[in-house]
Amino acid sequence: MAVVLGTRPEIVKLARVVRGLGDRGRIVYTGQHYDDNLSGSHFRGMGLPEPSVRLTGIGGVPRGRQIGAMISAISDGFEADPPRAVVVQGDTNSTSAGAQAAQYCGIPVIHVEAGLRSRDRAMPEEINRQVVGVLADLHCAPTTVAAGHLLAEGVPAERIQVTGNTIVEVVADSLPSPEASRALLRRYGVAEDGFVLVTLHRPENTDDPQRLRLILAELAGLGLPVLFPVHPRTLHCAERYGLARQLAALGAVDPVGHAEFLGLARYARLLISDSGGVQEECTVLKKPLIVLRNSSERPEAIEAGFATLLRPGPEIGRVARALIADPALPERLAARPSPYGDGSASERIVELTLALAGGPARVRVPHTSPAPSGVRANRRAAADAAAPVASPVPSP
């Protein structure tokens, strides 16, 4: 089996899957995140082997050329040494390219974190999600909401498995101890429950100078210190737009590793981010999050009360200060379960991958979803909401 990945979130979320496949799997690394701070160190930090294939010349080029180059290079590798199945994760350009290359070579595709939808076609990830949704042979949906999206689009129910989201076990594996987390606070000069942790990297926020200026101004007025690990894209844009001084005044620091971020987030009063992964992690850490985005493909975190979706504007400061000032909020969030499963998603995905590839699975893999009643309920809901796809189309 081949696991195609190219970004930090993919490395983090697929770590247990890669380890579970062991010598039956190999990593194809596209180099989409070409900065070692974003990807290279994560192979080492997650205890993963070096990739069997490592593409070059991919990172930093325009999207169309990037995806085209990845498809060509990955296809060449698959034709020379075809795997029995290909695993892709999420919604990156690497995900789309890996799925397309596999399909063109006649290799089954397993899509991890399948079925997320924002219905916002201005979001590049939404196009990637929809492309892979057409190509995948097995859709590992993190929730029944995601499974419902796939059913509404005509994906046969037997191709959908509700596995949970691997983020639950990733947090359990990566979260530093309380002592190590408090040592991080001391290193960065912030107090437990006394700072706001911020990440920002999406083009909709960083590539618009007025929007970025507004966000930085709102963060400066929260009434608590801000700790801001700065993504290279954000730093570049701030320097380009003359906002470097405002950024530096907000506790800007170099990017941190995933475990470090979790350790800091554990004791932050509030999280503010435009990241997709942080929307999931906040539900495991039981932390309030403001999502600075036009739209979200993860409504579960919002509906569960962990996240608040905001377009950048004056309401950022108002909402943030209200969350900071709510003394009962930590206790309320601590009592709420994460909507992303029980921490066994990676194990389920490994078993499903082995079964689809025809290899020996350690346990019998059910033909139906691990949560069949949830899928059936979503199938009925999809039929009610979208009559043209009331009945899934037959498998081709």
Catalytic residue ranges: 201
Give the residue from 203, 327, 201 showing the smallest Cα distance to 269: 327
CB atoms < 10 A from the CB of 123, how many?
20
- Give Cα 233 to chain centroid, integer Å: 18
Smallest CA-to-CA distance from 53 within 20, 86, 91 is with 86
Distances in whole angstroms, Cα of residue 290 to Cα of each of 77, 271, 316: 42, 6, 8
Three-state DSSP state, 112: strand
| Distance set, CA 361 to CA 79, 82, 355 (Å) | 26, 20, 6
**Structural contact between residues 273 and 200, judged by C-beta atoms closer than 8 angstroms:** yes
Residues 6+ apart with CB under 8 A from 384: none
Q: Which residues pair with 268 in a beta bridge?
A: none
CA distance 385 to 73: 41
Structure tokens at 180: 């190590």
Is there a contact between 165 and 140 (Cβ–Cβ < 8 Å)?
no
Supply φ then ψ for residue 12, to 5 degrees: -65, -50
- List Cβ neighbours of 129 (8 Å cut-off, separation of 6 or more): 91, 116, 117, 297
- What phi-psi label fits residue 203: left (phi over 0), alpha (psi between -120 and 50 degrees) or beta? alpha
CB atoms inside a 10 Å sphere around CB 310:
18
